[in-house]
Amino acid sequence: PGSCPALCECLEAAKTVKCVNRNLTAVPPDLPSYVRNLFITGNRLARLPAGAFPAQRLPDLRALNLSGNHLRAVEAGALAALPALRQLDLSGNPLVSLSPQVFGEGGSPLEELALRGALRDHSVLLSLAAMLQSGALRNLSRLELADNGLLLLPAGMFTALPALRQLDLSNNSLVGLRNVSFQGLGQLQSLNLSNNSLGVLRNGTLAQFRGLPALRHIGLGRNTWVCDCAIEDLVAWLKESDQVEGKEALTCAYPDKMLGKALLKINGSDLNCSMPVDLPSQLQTSYVFLGIVLALIGAIFLLVLYLNRKGIKKWMHNIRDACRDHMEGYHYRYEINADPRLTNLSSNSDV
């Protein structure tokens, strides 16, 4: 129990084991039971199978760092036998498979989870969302999802994290938060959205921010803010809120005439909002009005037809008689032309 695995460095007094840059392909099976802090980084594990950590052998392990191991798959039950685990770092691994049951059926007391640069595959992001939504990590207080190139987040991804206090979504490519719900995150204190591709924050998102009593730090720097009429709500919120760090440095990225202008210095005359902001609602209203007009025209047309039904009937009869007389004339000429005895007669006389 007190021995140290080959290729690892053990510090019994600090209850720490380090297996760093040793080209390991599997978790050492003979880890000492006293370990609380375990670093297995910079190796070539490739996959973390079920039971990767021996059951009941590491009862005190609290911090596990598996970053930079070329991990591609973390299977169901891989971290199920770690009852004291509080911190997990899987950053810098090119994951293509992450089982939602990685902590087993009963969940985990995990409090901090770092996945920086580990969610490049969209299926892994969906698996993580399923894991979080299942309630397996209800004690999670810190979640780091930076540097993953994320465009959009799965709906309801954070709804089962009531203890979450810090959420880092920085250095991604997020273009909007319309389908993201922060409701239920009553303990959230810090939200980092800096260095993304956000063009605007809508009223629904701003209302959620206002409804989070503990939220004191919001990072919005280095985003591509589009300063048109849709930015008015965000500007008004920035002017009244003390939650945004460095809000004076937030500037417009589009259009060209507004490039570099501080958001806090924007006023109505700069935006020239002659068109309504909510174009989808305007178009929907226009379609409804057009439908009403067409229905009214159709009703008038049917009414005119009904009032003139006798005249229309007489007109239709006249057309029918004219067509019948015309067709009888053609039929008579055809009979003359088809009878060889009448052919000479028709050519020499006026029939």
Is residue 313 situated within a structural domain? Answer: no
Residue 57 confidence class, pLDDT cut points 50, 70, 90: confident
- Domain boundaries, position 39: 9-270
Domain membership flag for residue 23: yes
Q: CA 42 to CA 18: how far, in whole Å? A: 11
Residue 186 has a pLDDT of 94
Tell me what percent of the residues of the chain surpass a pLDDT of 70. Answer: 90
Note whether residue 342 is domain-resident: no
CATH no. for residue 133? 3.80.10.10
- Please give the Cα distance from 117 to 132 (Å, whole number): 18
Q: Is residue 18 part of a domain?
A: yes
Q: How far is CA 225 from CA 124, 234, 260, 267, in A?
A: 29, 10, 10, 15
Of the candidate ranges 1-5, 186-190, 233-237, 302-306, the one whose mean pLDDT is the lowest: 1-5
Work out how many domains the chain is built from and give that number: 1
What's the pTM? 0.77
Residue 340 lies in a domain: no
Q: At what angle do helices 203-210 and 232-240 cross, to 10 degrees?
A: 20
Report if residue 24 sits inside a domain. Answer: yes
Asked whether the bond before 255 is cis by omega within 30 degrees of 0, the reply is yes
Query: Distance between CA atoms of 344 and 277, rounded to whole angstroms?
Result: 84
Q: What is the pLDDT of residues 5-42, one digit of tens each?
A: 999 999 999 999 999 999 999 999 899 999 999 999 99
What is the bridge-based pairing of β-strands 87-89 and 190-192? Answer: unpaired
Q: Are 209 and 234 in contact (CB under 8 A)?
A: no
Q: Measured in Å, how far apart are the chain's first and last C-alpha atoms? A: 128
Is the alpha carbon torsion for 174, 176, 178, 183 positive or negative?
A: positive
Judge whether 316 lies within some domain.
no
When the pLDDT of each residue in the chain is averaged and rounded to a whole number, the result is 89
- ∠ Cα 340 346 348 (to 5°): 115
The per-residue pLDDT for range 212-241, each reduced to its tens digit, is: 999 999 999 999 999 999 999 999 999 999
The reported pLDDT for the residue numbered 351 is 42
Question: Are 132 and 156 in contact, with CB atoms under 8 Å apart?
Answer: no
Most confident of 1-5, 98-102, 268-272: 98-102
Q: Hey, what are 142's tokens? A: 């810190």
pLDDT of residue 278: 54
Within a domain: residue 301?
A: no
Task: Spell out where 141-265 has E strands.
Answer: 142-144, 166-168, 190-192, 217-219, 225-226, 252-254
In whole angstroms, how large is the CA radius of gyration of the chain? 37
pLDDT above 90: residue 281: no
